[in-house]
Structure 1
Amino acid sequence: MKLRTLALLSFCVLLAACSKINQQNFSKLSTGMPKAEVEKLLGSPADCSGALGMSSCTWGDKNSFISVQYAGDKVLMFSGQGLK
């Protein structure tokens, strides 16, 4: 039973280390990129809001995040903080 617990704990640590919210993926973003391509790269956003054809989506948490602003379904600008 202890081996199973250790294996599960190791898997969780490994999964957390594989976050898509990192400097490498941030570097792949570019203006004009389609929203579908951003979501393929980063996964589903944690939060999105918008109006009048403009929207803003965020991935990550308050310490480490990527924020992307869209005009229609194309990247207008993006920023990141605490990326490794």
Structure 2
Amino acid sequence: MSKKLTLLIGLTCFLFLTGCNKLTQENYNKLQMGMERSKVESIFGKPSDCQNIMSATSCNWSQGDANLKIQFVDNKVVTYFANNIK
């Protein structure tokens, strides 16, 4: 009985941890120029931080060593790039 419980707990933890990673190549491929910020956040979740720079807003998403930076003007994607996304 305890082996089944241990297996169930391990599987649950694995699914929870892998399900939380939104910085994936698959999600990155969904990005498009002109995409609304709300759509971006529905894919990647809320950003780690954002900064207003003149008329643009620059937002960063980070998970482990993966990083995504997107710049928005009028809440629409104008540039984006990523590092270490798999």
User: Residue 15 of structure 1 aligns with which residue?
Assistant: 16
Q: Which runs of 5+ in 2 are unaligned?
A: none
User: Residue 39 of structure 2 aligns with which residue?
Assistant: 37
Normalised by the size of structure 2, how large is the TM-score? Answer: 0.80
- 1:69 corresponds to 2:57: no
Normalised by the size of structure 1, how large is the TM-score? Answer: 0.82
Q: Which runs of 5+ in 1 are unaligned?
A: none
Q: What is the deviation of 1:48?
A: 1.0
Structure 1 vs Structure 2 CA RMSD: 2.0
Moved over 6 A (4+): none
Distance change in 2, residues 1:52/1:25 (3 Å)? same
Percent identical pairs in the alignment equals: 30
AA in 1 matched with 2:11: S
Cα contact 2:35–2:77 (8 A) shared by 1: yes
User: Which has the larger Rg?
Assistant: 2
- 1:60 corresponds to 2:62: yes
